[in-house]
Amino acid sequence: MGVVKIWNAMEVAEEARENPNLSSDIKSSSLTVDHSLSLPHMKPRIIELCKDLFKEWSELDDSRFAVDTVSGGITNLLLKASVKEESGNDVSVTVRLYGPNTEYVINRERELQAIKYLSAAGFGAKLLGVFGNGMVQSFINARTLVESDMRKPKLAAEIAKQLRKFHKVEIPGSKEPQLWNDISKFFEKASVLEFDDSEKQRMHKMISFKEIHDEIVELKELTGLLNAPVVFAHNDLLCGNLMVNDEEEKLYLIDFEYGSYNYRGFDIGNHFNEYAGYDCDYSLYPNKDEQYHFFRHYLQPDNPLEVPDKDLEALYVESNTYMLASHLYWALWGIIQAKMSPIDFDYLGYFFLRYNEYKRQKEKSFLLAQSFLSGSGTT
């Protein structure tokens, strides 16, 4: 593999502005904000950034600004910046700080290209500006879901409906599914890492990359037989990337940084894996009835009870086979993050949790797919 291009947000912003298909009103600033600062120390920098991006705020007194944390994931920090304008209007924007070194696992160019089209289709927040290590978007007045929300029947049905719409969005460019390309890139990076920390290095040496490589080859071959539709997929549909306004009963899919053309079953299987949360409690993985409820609203949102059994069965097999690929994807991602991310999270431990669950589920999922493909169709 050649040199991996590390995308710089500023370069992408310039390209975005020069691209006739993209909005010319995306503002840009060369400022960066240190992800590791405490909120009180970060606040002046966020205010400076807002004034630099939005000229109408540049002369306002700092006392007119408020900065609050919305959420901090294991790769991003979301902040709400509010300002009382001269007119008396209260305006809020969301400032998203990219986690340090996340460009090693995220294609920022792909993300910024997609946001424009997803935003036009009504997904996520409007992109207002980019800066050295993040982006500013319109503020969504909603709460972030927690893991237990995703299994509530009403919300699960709404997530399924929204995901169906999301999968119908056309994004210009190559429609080649990225799953195996991304897994291959992650594998190449993860397998050659050297850790300064002796304990991490010891754990890394315990990993059999030959075994993982063989698993990737075998799973790629099996999933290839399923002919899963290729859609523009979110690829990271965990509770932290879902928001709901409870009063309006409006659900939002947010954060498209892993978005790409991909297999439908991967996006759904990956979402089901996320029922387990960061703690990886896979006893929370949805059972067949819960999955069928999701599938009905995904396949026929207007007539969920009229979905033919054969369609439910096919999507069940597809999702629960690609669910294995989700474990491999995020397991390898965890190894890279263990080296690159300064965030205090046990990424190597996360690798073992995901890879061990892959191995635990492999035989059952392979038998499910093989019996379906052989025509016996017993699920």
Which residues fall within 8 angstroms of residue 173, CB to CB, at 6 or more apart?
Answer: 113
pLDDT at 75: 66
Which position has the token pair 């590390």?
Answer: 6
pLDDT at 59: 96
Residue type at position 80: K
pLDDT at 6: 36
CA separation for the pair 142, 186 (Å, rounded): 34
pLDDT at 73: 62
pLDDT at 116: 84
pLDDT at 5: 35
pLDDT at 120: 86
Check if the beta carbon of residue 127 is closer than 8 Å to that of residue 119.
yes
pLDDT at 11: 55
Output the CA–CA distances (angstroms, integers) from residue 170 to 119, 123, 174, 175, 333, in the order listed. 12, 13, 11, 9, 27
| Strand partners of residue 223 | none
Residue 10 corresponds to which tokens in the numbers above? Answer: 């500023």
Helix or strand or coil: residue 81?
Answer: strand
pLDDT at 229: 98
CA separation for the pair 127, 94 (Å, rounded): 10
Output the CA–CA distances (angstroms, integers) from residue 292 to 105, 155, 331, in the order listed. 32, 14, 27
CA separation for the pair 336, 347 (Å, rounded): 8
pLDDT at 74: 60
CA separation for the pair 226, 320 (Å, rounded): 11
In terms of Cα–Cα distance, which of 147, 150, 163, 138 is closest to 70? 138
State the CB neighbour count (10 A cutoff) for residue 344.
Answer: 6
CA separation for the pair 163, 256 (Å, rounded): 13
CA separation for the pair 156, 293 (Å, rounded): 8
Which residues fall within 8 angstroms of residue 39, CB to CB, at 6 or more apart?
Answer: 67, 68, 69
Helix or strand or coil: residue 173?
Answer: coil
Can you list the residues of the chain whose pLDDT is less than 70? 1-24, 72-75, 376-379
Which residues fall within 8 angstroms of residue 202, CB to CB, at 6 or more apart?
Answer: none
Residue type at position 86: E
pLDDT at 76: 75
Q: Tell me the Ramachandran region of residue 122: left when phi exceeds 0, alpha when psi lies from -120 to 50, beta otherwise.
A: left
